[in-house]
Structure 1
Amino acid sequence: MSPEKTAPRNRKRQLPTKAEPTTDSLQPPTAKRRKLENQQRHRTPSSFWDNLSRQWLTPRALREFDRRTVWPAAPVPSNRIGKENIHLAGLKRFARHGGPSLGSLRAYPEPGTTTLSHQTMNSSQSGSRKRARTGRESDTSSKTRRTSAYDGGFEQHLIDHNVYPEGYGGFSNLREPHNCEEIHARLAIPRASLSPSRFSREDFWNFKEKNQDALTENKVMSKVFPIIAGTCDIPSQENLLFGNLKDLTDGSITKAKPDFFDGTRPAELHRQIRADLDPYIVPSTNTTAPCVPNFFTEGKGADGSSAVCKRQALYDGALGARGVHELRSYIDGGKSYDNNAYTITSTYHGGTGDLTIYSTHPTPSNDPQNPIEYRMTQLDGWKMTRAPDTFRQGATALRNARDWAQEKRKELIAAANGKALNPESSELDSSTHSFMSPSTNGIIDQESDTSTDELTLESAPHAGSSDRIPVGSRKDSPLKVSSSRSVTRSSARASGDGRK
């Protein structure tokens, strides 16, 4: 009797079988899934489009239209002949003899052009693969640009919420801030650091070279803008998301993120004031960042859009003007409007070399839903790459604007701190004109119609709309309160107080 045959033994070590992956197990998302999730996370809310008074034809609007449109399902083809009914031997014989004639088909290439068509197709596919690999488009192809949240729809949204850009509703002195001439005179005061002896023609050519080499927005703001803004002891920050501020409109637009802004160190403002006005004057969740920002700059590279830059400045300026308005209302014990501007914004385009300075101020509105209007006003503009004198004028204005904005912050913060420390004291009126002049030890004559020098305003408050002090035309004249009383300034402040 022969022994039973047994199956050959597997000498290899048996590995334990892996359990089938369950749907509950966490798997890294695919690139396509991550892209879809990112698009959903950053998609503009539907309420943004529903509440626009006017729809603009932008890439974002087209994507929203596609999202809301229900496209009909593709028709299902009718059932074809079953495989069992196909005579495979006959089909193969038919194919060996050349198959059906394609000569009657439309758009079928003529004999002899097949090779050329094949080469063209391969060239097109090669170009597509090259663009996918290098990220560059050919000269003849249409360029796909990145879309921005700061498009025409964004500007329309701000207008619908009473935030008006430069020139909206026509140009009129009624829409300008009452202290517009005062700001103009302050911006024009010469600075010693920009005199021809200290900023030479060679320095100007060096600036032009750096501006030419700065192709991106980051390079413009890190290499070019500091030359214009100079160096001074003013708390500032760059590219900081304003994530702590209360929404300016209905919450359907992106949070502001200025390229550059000036503010005040939080320690200089009373803790109770910061707590009470936190969503208006403390822009970031980082409590060490400057607060009460009222000077902003938005920049763009050579290929950047100047229209987008201006819309960003409009948004920044409205947030800054709202914070200053809330601080003034805290001082006065109520809503106060003096139609004066305390907020400055500026834009710089590296491709064109254009520097533009704006002011933003609040005014009362008749709209019960939006009781405050914010208006943007252009103060001046310069072609910084044109000539050394033009550069000096623009840089002088920007540096003076930073100093002026800091002076206004200090005035308001000093008054607010006094109010917080002495809550029982009498409230200041809406113009905050009861400040003492440091040199005369008395209140500035509010009925005076003589000239003033803006350099003395660092320790004096700003007068209201009804008691403004007119500014003289001479930039180098001392402050004259009346014919028999004058305030002198130090030579350091007359030359730009030592700031670069």
Structure 2
Amino acid sequence: MAHKHTLKVSVGRSDEEPATKRTKPDESFNPFYSSMWDEISKVYYTKRSLEEFDRRTAHESGDKVLTSARRKFGPLLVSDICALRDLASKGGPDLSILRGYSWLPTVPETKSVTNSAARSAGNMPSAYDANFERFMIEKVHVLPPNWQDPHGDEDDEPREPQNLGLIRDVLIQSRDSLAPSQWPEKNFREFKRAAGMNPDEEMVVKFEFPFVSGLKDSQYVVTEYIRFDNLDELHKDIVALQPDKAYGADRNDINSNVREELARYIVPASISTLAASNSFLELMGSTGHPGVAQRQAIHNGAVGARAMFYLQNYGKAIPEYDDNAYTLSSTYHPIGGILQMFATHPVAPPRHGDEPHYHMTLVDAFMMKGNPTKFREGAAAWRNGQQWAQQQRDAFIQRANNIDNRRSAALQQASAGTSNGKGEEDTATGVRPSTETVGGKGTALEKSAGR
């Protein structure tokens, strides 16, 4: 329900201040952000919601003061102006009885923008505000893990992906590179000491998480802190995505026609070759708040799942939903070495033609600093997850490229007058962009020499 000009604040989770990171969101008032408050049904008691409440209260109070003054006083006469000038020349009225008085500020009118410049300038709602999650649930239809609709609407109940069991089977597979003979216990001690006692995020990125990701991480197409300002956002009123780490394909591996048609969903930034990202990581320093990281992961997972959905349905007149997940988004906190891995999948909207809804599911969690065995389990899950995600996007890209190649061949034949009359239906052979691409339960994801 919209709240017009009256902001009701409910006591709930406090606002988390952003930890020391590469950039901080703009803490000053901006007119673009305020439009969010009228669109969510419940507003949590946070710093930003209080600022918005004060702003609207000041606006309304100012209107009342000005209206009262206009009713009580008429226009000034020439004699009044002369009297005022005379009073001013003698020092003006005695204001000593007025203490702590300040005039009400001018309040700018609210408006909404959709261009990337405004979204990249910190002028939009972001994961640093606890109300962001509710906005994503109610306006973007992205459901976090364990979400329960207070109204009992079945359309808004979270659903697990059908291939959740298969993903879990993939993650728990052991890796030869993490066997005790290849990864001795002294490495575990080095991992625990890597970032120091109270590491900030930069220390975790440089010195601690590389123990988890392993040497093979450098073989992936991966970006750090790149703003995804080329994509259409999930909603016009939320900030552009900026993952700590994003894994995807090289855009040059995708046919130019496919890239151009799906650019708004799969080509995140012009300054990177990354495309079709379907695995993300949010890292925290020791003072980082897990709530912020999870809200970032919710946003990451939905954008990645959308990219896979459009690649999967490339060339189809009517999109199909198979209720499987092909996207992973993870969070890592150095206190305890807690790694959480989530899967996000698209769900058909209640009304045909609407944008997909997205449901996020916790796949598994690992406390990696407990002992060497826990570390090996978490590190194996992370590395297996990256390899699995790569297999999914590669299969979808190959399928889309095959469709584009057949289209191009048919156009060439038609232009030469030798068209065979075949349609453009999806008849790709040898490409199975589904849960089968991981090879099924028990399939080894790593050879003995791999990391």
Same fold (TM over 0.5): yes
1:423-473 superposed Cα distances (whole Å, 9 cap, x missing partner): 2565566xx9x643xxxxxxxxxxxxxxxxxxxxxx754258xxx99954x
5 Å matches for 1:67-78? Answer: 67-70=55-58, 71=61
User: Could you tell me how far apart the structure 2 residues matched to 1:205 and 1:329 are?
Assistant: 47
Corresponding letter in the other structure for 1:54: K
Q: Distance in 1 between matches of 2:245 and 2:169?
A: 24
- Determine the structure 2 residue equivalent to 1:329: 313
For the residues of structure 2 that align with 1:469 and 1:199, how far apart are their CA atoms? 26
Query: For 1:19-418, what aligned pairs fall within 5 Å after superposition?
Result: 44-70=32-58, 71=61, 149-160=127-138, 161-169=140-148, 175-213=159-197, 215-232=199-216, 233-249=219-235, 251-286=236-271, 288-366=272-350, 370-418=354-402
User: Aligned with 2:243: secondary structure?
Assistant: coil
SS in 2 for 1:208: helix
Counterpart of 2:365 in 1: which secondary structure? strand
Rate the CA distance shift 1:401–1:428 in 2: closer, same or farther, 3 A. farther
CA distance in 1, matches of 2:208, 2:234: 31
Aligned AA (1:203): N
Secondary structure of 1:361's counterpart equals strand
Shift of residue 409, structure 1, vs aligned partner: 1.0
8 Å contact from structure 1 (residues 332, 427) kept in 2: no
2:434 is equivalent to residue 462 of structure 1: yes
Deviations 1:321-379 (A, max 9, x none): 01111111114343110000010111101123210111000011215795411000001
For these two proteins, the number of residue pairs brought into alignment is 349
Distance change in 2, residues 1:253/1:83 (3 Å): closer
TM-superposed deviation, 1:315: 0.2
Partners of 2:42 and 2:213 in 1: CA distance = 38
Whole-Å separation in 2 of the counterparts to 1:82 and 1:409: 75
1:419 aligns with 2:421: no
Instruction: In structure 1, give the amino acid aligned to 2:137.
Output: I
Matched AA of 1:152: A
Question: Helix, strand or coil for the counterpart of 2:331?
Answer: strand
Q: Match of 2:55, as an amino acid?
A: R
Question: Is the contact made by 2:221 and 2:250 (CA closer than 8 Å) also made in structure 1?
Answer: yes
TM superposition shift of 1:496? 3.8
- Measure the CA separation in 2 of the matches of 1:463 and 1:355: 24
Aligned positions of 1:427-442 closer than 5 A: 435-436=429-430
Question: Could you say if the C-alpha distance between residues 357 and 322 of structure 1 is closer, same or farther in structure 2, counting changes exceeding 3 Å?
Answer: same
AA partner of residue 143 (structure 2):
Y
Aligned counterparts of 2:305 and 2:181: Cα–Cα separation in 1: 38
The AA in structure 2 aligned to 1:246 is D
Moved more, 226-235 or 363-372: 363-372
Alpha-carbon distance between aligned partners in 1 of 2:158 and 2:43, rounded to the nearest angstrom: 29
Partners of 2:396 and 2:42 in 1: CA distance: 39
Q: Is the CA contact (8 Å cut-off) linking 1:214 and 1:224 kept in structure 2? A: no
Percent of aligned pairs sharing the same letter: 32
Aligned match of 2:450: 499
Tell me which amino acid in the other structure corresponds to 1:150: Y
Q: Deviation at 1:59?
A: 0.7
Partner SS, residue 359 of structure 1: strand
Cα separation, partners in 2 of 1:174 and 1:56, compared to 1, 3 Å: closer
Return the letter of the residue paired with 2:434.
H
User: How many Å apart are 1:40 and its aligned residue?
Assistant: 5.8
The verdict on how the C-alpha distance between 1:497 and 1:377 changes in structure 2, with shifts beyond 3 A counting, is farther
TM-aligned CA deviation for residue 393 of structure 1: 0.3
With structure 1 as the length reference, what TM-score do the two structures score? 0.64
Q: Which amino acid in structure 1 is aligned with residue 266 of structure 2?
A: I
Separation in structure 1 between the aligned mates of residue 136 and residue 208 of structure 2, nearest angstrom = 30
DSSP-derived class of the 1:275 partner: helix
Alignment correspondent of 2:105: none
| SS of 1:356 mapped into structure 2 | strand
The one of the two structures with greater contact order (alpha-carbon pairs below 8 A, sep at least 6) is 2
* TM-score normalized by the length of structure 2: 0.70
- Tell me the distance in 1 between the aligned counterparts of 2:423 and 2:198: 54
How many angstroms does 1:149 deviate by?
A: 4.4
CA drift of 1:222 comes to 2.2
Contact 2:340 2:364 in 1 (8 A): yes
Distance 1:148 1:427, change over 3 A: closer
* 8 Å contact from structure 1 (residues 355, 383) kept in 2: yes
1:325–1:362 contact (8 Å) kept in structure 2:
yes
Q: Could you say what secondary structure the match of 1:332 adopts? A: coil
CA contact (8 A) 2:126 2:238 kept: no
Superposed CA offset, 1:224-261 (max 9, x none): 11211112211101001011110101x21211110001
Where in structure 1 are there 5+ consecutive unaligned residues? 1-37, 85-146, 437-458, 479-492
RMSD over aligned CA atoms reads: 3.2
Letter of the 2:229 counterpart: G
Give the Cα separation in 2 of the matches to 1:408 and 1:342: 6
1:194/1:360 Cα in 2 relative to 1: closer, same or farther (>3 Å)? same
Aligned-partner Cα distance in 1 for 2:146–2:377: 24
3-state SS of the aligned residue for 1:330?
A: coil
- How far apart are the structure 2 equivalents of 1:316 and 1:283? 12
Q: 1:42 Cα deviation (Å)?
A: 5.3
Provide closer, same or farther for how the CA distance between residues 82 and 231 of structure 1 changes in structure 2, counting only shifts above 3 A: closer
For the residues of structure 1 that align with 2:145 and 2:270, how far apart are their CA atoms? 31
Partner Cα separation in structure 2 for residue 379 and residue 312 of structure 1: 17
Call closer, same or farther: CA 1:189–1:469 in 2, change over 3 Å: closer
